[in-house]
Every structure is written in C-alpha cells, then in structure tokens.
Structure 1
Amino acid sequence: MTSKITTQTETQSTSHLQLEQELALLYHNNSNLTPSTIMDFLENMAESQSIGHPRHYPACPAIALNPGRLWKWRKRLIQSLPVVLAQRKSSQNFLVNMPLQKLSQIILMSLQAGKMRNELLRQRPYPSAGGLYGVNVFVLATAVKELEQGIYNVNPDRQCLEQLYLFGSNLECQQWLKTSIVGEPVTKQAPVYIFFCANLNHVKQKYGERAYRFILLEAGHIAQNISLASTSLGISHLPLGGFCEKMIEEKIGDPDMIALYTMALG
C-alpha cells in the first residue's frame, strides 16, 4: 500500500479554497432575511429615496449607435424566440472585425430604454431591483469598424457609446487583455468584450447587504439578453468568469464601479 505525501503547497491551496468557501457562505448567511430582520429590511426600503439613476458620462465624447432597421431585427427575434433559445450556445468562432451596426443592434435590442416609468426614467427590457438600474454595460472594442480601440460606456437613453479610454496602440490593447482576462478568448481575440459593472453603493442605499445579490442578478439578466440577441443575429458570444476586477475597474476610471462579469462577443 502506498501513501500520498501532502506537500506544503497542496495544504496551502486547500486552506485557501476552504477560506473562499467560508467567505462566500459567510456573506450568504449574513445577508439572509429572517423573521427578526425582515421588518427592518422593508422599512429601509420604504424610507429610501433612491431612484433609478444609471451612471452616464456626459463629459466624454459620444459615438452614436447605428442599428439600421432595428424594428425588423427585433420582430425577427420575437417571432423566432423558441428557435433562438434552442440554438443559443457559447462559441469562440469570432469575426475578425465586427461592424458597428451589428454591435448597435445587439446593444439596443438588449438594453434600449422603452416607455417612461416616471418623469426621470425609462423602462428597460430586463428586471432591476427597485428599478434602480445599478448595472452599467461597458464595451471594449478591439476590432470594431468605425470605433477606435478603447473602452466605452453604453448609454441606452441617448443611444450612444461614451468614450472613456483609448488605447495608444494595438500592442497596448493586447498586453492589457492578456493581463486582465484569463483563458483562450484572449488568444482567439474577440472584436468586442463586454464588462458588466455596478454602482453597488447606489443599490445598497435601498437594499443594504442584499444589494450585492441584486446587482449580480441584474448583470445576469442583461447578459442573457445580449446572449439571445447575439444568437438571433448569428454573432458568437462567450460568457467569461475569469478576469481581474481591479484591472477593469482602473481602466473604466469610475471609483464607484465594481466589475461583476464579462463576455466576449463577435
């Protein structure tokens, strides 16, 4: 009979994994609602003055989205939804270059503001806790026709992209990608990467510690919209969980934004 010798590295790795599991469970348990806390939670919700206020960057240069005959594509998606659901799959069969019109169609089908919810806010095609819309969608364009390589905030209300950062060269963009996103999608470069980020403090004013749960759910709802819209247009997409949050947050440059999720598109 042979016995396995446990190395120090394996012990440290196991301890680290256990700590991560404990931290996740600690947050889950401490953000649970119980009979003794639910009334405080409801009272805080009622007293909160938070309203839907998606983060925009009006001082930044704006690039208009150009979806063409968007109504036609939206109608096609609605009529073929059962087929789109059946065909949806993660794929790395990316285009070399992505037309801005295709990107515009995907973005506006997934995010475009609709009728007014109140005097300040338009309804969007995905649920958001309290209608706060705390999640922003940022686009990293590496190879989009009519767009410079850089990072843009999506502004569905104005139907535009707000230019936050431009890379000085393709080499700078490639090096940043390799240190920010983990795995094969970097070597099989996509023309677009989507970053789902949130203003946690804005949502926390109303929902306390449960806010983190809600922004994760909202990011997932938006990502599913993008996934289905991409599928309906024959565009590959790949959800990504391996990324360096701080690298993305620093490039966006908004201290209130935390990175939650990413997706390669094209």
Structure 2
Amino acid sequence: MTEAASDEATAGPGLPIASAAYLNSFKNFTAHASSTGLRTAQLRYAMAAGELSNPALEFLLNSRYRRGDREFEISVQSYFDDAALTMVSQVGRRMRKSGETFALPTPLPLPMALHEVIARRRSNRTLSGEPLKLTALATILQCAAGITATATTELKDGTPCSMPLRAAPSGGGLYPIDLHLAVRDIPGLAPGLYDFLPLQDALARIETDAAGDDAVRGVMAALPGDFVDIRRASAFLVFSVSPWRSMRKYGQRGLRFALMETGYIAENVHLASTAIGCASCDYGGFYDDELNRAFGFDGHYQTAIHAMVLGG
C-alpha cells in the first residue's frame, strides 16, 4: 500500500468508499476456517475447491442428461405401459389417513388481465390482519395446482384412461409437489392442518398429535418471524415434495423438475392472490425438521420444500 493510500485508509469515520473497498479486498476470510465452527455460505463456496464436499454442485453434476444414456431412456419409456399410466392417473388422491373432508367453494373469476397482474405482483411482507375468505382460498388453490382439464389415453386393451391435468406444468405429469395448509383465520374453516386434494377439489383435515390452534402454533414456530409478521397471517401454504414420484422416471434429474414445479406453483399463487386483492409472500427460511414433524412428513420420501404466507 502506498503512503497516500495508507493515510487515506486511516482517516476514520470519513473513510472514502473506494479506500474501504480497497482494504476489504485484502481481508483473509479463510485464515481461521479450521479453528471455528462458523462458516458462512460465501466461505463454504470459497472452500468448495478444496477438501470440503459440495453437495449442491454434486447434485448439478449428477443430474445431467447426456446423449446416449440408455438407462435414462429406458426408465422414461417404461412409463408408457399400462401399469405406469394407471398409476400416474391416480396421482393426487388421498395418500394417508385423514379426518373430515371439506369441499371447496367455486373459485372466484380473476378480474384482472395477465399483463396487469404481472406488473402489480409484489411480495406482501406487511399483512393487514384481515381474514382470508374461503372463496379466495379456493381460488388460490385452484390457480396453484387445481385440475384444469382431462386428457384421455388408451391402455393396450383399448380401455380409456383419464389423465387429470393441473394449472401448473409438471415433468411427465407426475406432480411430485403436494400442497398443505395451516389455517389460522379463514371464516368457515376451523383452525388446523389440511391436505389439498386436487382431484376432489377439497381439503382433508390432517390427524396429528396436536389439533386446531395448537397444530397451527407448531407450524408458526417453524417459521421464524423475522421479516414477515406471521401473527397477522390467515394461513400458511406448505409445499411438500415426494422426490421418487419424479425420480423413478427421470433419475436425479427428476428432482430438478420437482424444484421447477415448486416455482411454477408459487408464481401461480402470487398471481392469483394479486388478481383478487389478497396478500402472499414466499417463506423459504423455515426450519425443515420442525415443519416436517408438524405435518407428519418423514423428511425423506416426503419433505417440506417451500412455504408461503397468505393474508386477506
């Protein structure tokens, strides 16, 4: 460092931005990495080229599709036989024991053009505290992952097989993402935890050790309220992924498709919420193990992958 630079760098509170950036560029962030348990994401990335494993990078490498991959091609082709077609046609039906089922009301028409909705969409971190109407919830769920059409194919003996199609695209139509709700304040729907059943356009109450408000508080405890006042939320929309629903056909690349599907559904939630004047905000900073326990997911074959906050 030159004498002039040294004088400028010690100027105290008036330290120029350029000099601060110059000094900062020489800071050694890895000098004591071996003697501390604190490793920021930046430090983990910087050390990835060394001895530390990098699972995220390994996933990207292992999920690549290469020309001539016969194992991949055979796996995909197997999904066109009768057994696989029948299995896929049933995706979305109730998969676990649950309590009472509640039919959702008719969704509201969206009163806004797509270009206007896109321009207005914003993450709402300041919620009004107003309850979310049940018709609004039905609209959001229908736009997020509801059944919008049915395709028909034939099995080998000519028997027709109906394939329900949803609002969000899904790799191979396998729909590995399921939606669940922690209802806090929606008139007409008791507080508690629910599964969304797209084929029935209904909610099914989840039977857990905790019930009602206690179950909802368990979910809220897994969502640190640092940047959204979750106490004003009407409901929490939780996405779970069943990876093998997609990976049995597409291998590790199937997880890429599942993550993409999560984004498609979340964007549909935002657009529908904006169109009908409700609030929505993504909430990725949840505590995975706690949220899995609250909804009864095993964390492996089914695990929480995303969450959203909804308000009136």
Normalising by structure 1, what TM-score? Answer: 0.85
Identity %: 22
Q: How far, CA to CA, are the matches of 1:172 and 1:62 in structure 2? A: 18
Cα 1:187/1:115, change in 2 over 3 Å: closer
Give CA deviations for 1:75-102 in whole Å, capped at 9, x if unaligned.
Answer: x34xx11110100010123233222121
**Counterpart check, 1:129 vs 2:171:** yes
SS at match of 2:291: helix
The answer for unaligned runs of 5 or more in structure 1 is none
Identify the residue that residue 139 of structure 1 maps to in structure 2: 181
- Within-5 A mapping of 1:81-230: 81-94=114-127, 95-118=129-152, 119-165=161-207, 167-168=210-211, 170=213, 173-174=216-217, 176-181=219-224, 183-230=226-273
Decide whether the 8 Å contact of 1:85 with 1:228 is kept in 2: yes
Q: How far, CA to CA, are the matches of 2:207 and 2:64 in structure 1? A: 39
Deviation at 1:198, TM superposition (A): 1.5
Q: How far, CA to CA, are the matches of 1:186 and 1:108 in structure 2? A: 26
Give CA deviations for 1:3-39 in whole Å, capped at 9, x if unaligned.
Answer: 97965437644765646982101110111122353x3
Identify the residue that residue 65 of structure 1 maps to in structure 2: 104
Relative to total residues, which structure has the larger helix share, 1 or 2? 1
Cα 1:30/1:87, change in 2 over 3 Å: same
Normalising by structure 2, what TM-score? Answer: 0.73
Deviation at 1:248, TM superposition (A): 2.1
Q: How far, CA to CA, are the matches of 1:193 and 1:123 in structure 2? A: 25
Give CA deviations for 1:124-171 in whole Å, capped at 9, x if unaligned.
Answer: 121101011111011111111122221111112211101114644646
Deviation at 1:51, TM superposition (A): 2.1
Q: How far, CA to CA, are the matches of 2:126 and 2:276 in structure 1? A: 14
**Counterpart check, 1:23 vs 2:55:** yes
Larger radius of gyration: 2
Greater mean deviation of Cα atoms: 91-100 or 230-239: 91-100
Report which structure shows greater RCO (CA 8 Å, sep ≥6). 1
Cα 1:258/1:172, change in 2 over 3 Å: closer
Identify the residue that residue 277 of structure 2 maps to in structure 1: 234
SS at match of 2:125: coil
Q: How far, CA to CA, are the matches of 1:59 and 1:30 in structure 2? A: 36
Greater mean deviation of Cα atoms: 254-263 or 211-220: 254-263
